[in-house]
Every structure is written in C-alpha cells, then in structure tokens.
Amino acid sequence: MKLAERLSAAVAGGIRRIGQIAIRPQDGVYLLCHIDDENSDASLLEKFEGSATARDLSTWAEDGHYRFTKGELSLKRGWLLQLSSSEELRQALDHFYPAAAGLWFAQHDGRLEIEHLRDKLNRQTGMYRFARTLSDAGAQRLVSEVCGPGHCCVKKILWQLDANTPLEDSEASRFDGVTGDIDRSQAIPLLCREACNHFVAEARKASKAEQDAKATG
C-alpha cells in the first residue's frame, strides 16, 4: 500500500495527531491546525489550502526564528490548512515533519533501521571527527542536555550509545514522541532513529571540552 493510502487508513482508524499538528478528517478533506488551536473558533484562524503551504508554515517560528530542526517545539499557531486528498496530506505532513509518518510505518512493519550513537560518531570526518572521542559519560550527559521537550525537541529516541549500552534514564530518554495530552493510540510519534546534526555538533564541542580539561588537569 502506498504511504498516502496508509496514512489515510490510519486517520480513518483514529489517528489525530503528529507532533504539534492536529489532524481532522471532514467531508472528504483533511483539516490541519496547531494542537493549541484545536478548540479555537475556526473563523479566527487564517485559512490555507494545499500541501505547499505547509512548507512556509513550518519554516519560521512564532517569534520569527528559523526552525533549524522540524522536531522543534516551536510551530506557530493561528492557521487552518485544508488538504483535498490523502496524497496532499502525506505531502503536508512531510513538510511539517519530514519522513516521520514513513518512519512510524517502518517501525510498525519491523523494518526501521536504527543507528546507534557510536556508529554515527565514528562515521564523522573533517572537523566533526573530534566527536568520536566523546566519553560514554559525556554522551549520556549530552542526551539529557540536548534532546527532549525540555530542550525543544519532541522526538522519541530509539538509538542507544551502542548495541549494549542503553541511554540512562532522563526526561529526554523517556520521552515518547507524542506532544501534549492525548490518547497515545491516536498519535503518530516523532521518532529519532539516529543522532541529528545538531547533536553531532554538540558532541564535537563536548569532546573537545573533555580533551581540554584533561590537558589542563
């Protein structure tokens, strides 16, 4: 089954949320809005049609900053987006949360590939190769300092340090990828299958700080 058809079947089966987006099927179309506008007077929301608008809506946050990663908890409010087909729904969700629905289906099918942190860091070259030497303790600390809703990322982390070393318990490692108060069976969780570029950049900095501390200690 194509991704758009699977998505449509999932919505028909009760899926109503992904990240900060509320999804409502209505009279053959799909209506999307920010979850905090779900119960707002629709006449007060700015109306848009078509999936291309999702790119603009997802690029800039309310305060005008560029949303560096789409998993950021900073989607702006005040809009209502109408989509006329399941393919438009797929495209729009891919703009808001790239590949998120596909990753969720892949996880369901047992074919989602996960890359653990050591494998990711060991692949780094150039200036990022310093990230390879980050200690385990430093990596665990970084997860709690970079990931999770407390740091504006609302993805569920699927990777470990390596195949034998799970992440330590923290708000970040515990987060389930679903934003807000909703029956979890009605939401598509945002999944993190490998550390993002932002995390790798922070790993490089933390690793350098560890080496500097050793040199001066």
Binding site for ligand SF4 (CB under 6 A): 69, 71, 146-147, 153, 155, 157, 192, 195-196, 198-199
Which lies closer to ligand SF4 via its Cβ, residue 33 or residue 192? 192
Q: How far is CA 36 from its chain centroid?
A: 18
- Asked if residue 179 lies in contact with residue 154, where contact means CB atoms within 8 angstroms, the answer is yes
Tell me how far, at minimum, the Cβ of 21 lies from ligand SF4, in Å: 17
Nearest-approach distance from CB 193 to ligand SF4, in angstroms:
9
Give the nearer residue to ligand SF4 in terms of CB position, either 33 or 153: 153
Q: How near is the Cβ of 71 to ligand SF4 at its closest, in Å?
A: 5
Sheet strands (E) in the chain: 17-18, 21-26, 29-34, 46-49, 79-83, 156-157, 187-188, 191-192
In the bound state with ligand SF4, the residue whose beta carbon lies nearer, of 103 and 192, is 192
Nearer to ligand SF4, 11 or 121 (CB): 121
176 SS3 class: coil
**Exposed/middle/buried for residue 33 (C-beta within 10 Å: 0-12, 13-18, 19+):** buried
Report in angstroms how near the CB of residue 174 gets to ligand SF4 at its nearest: 12
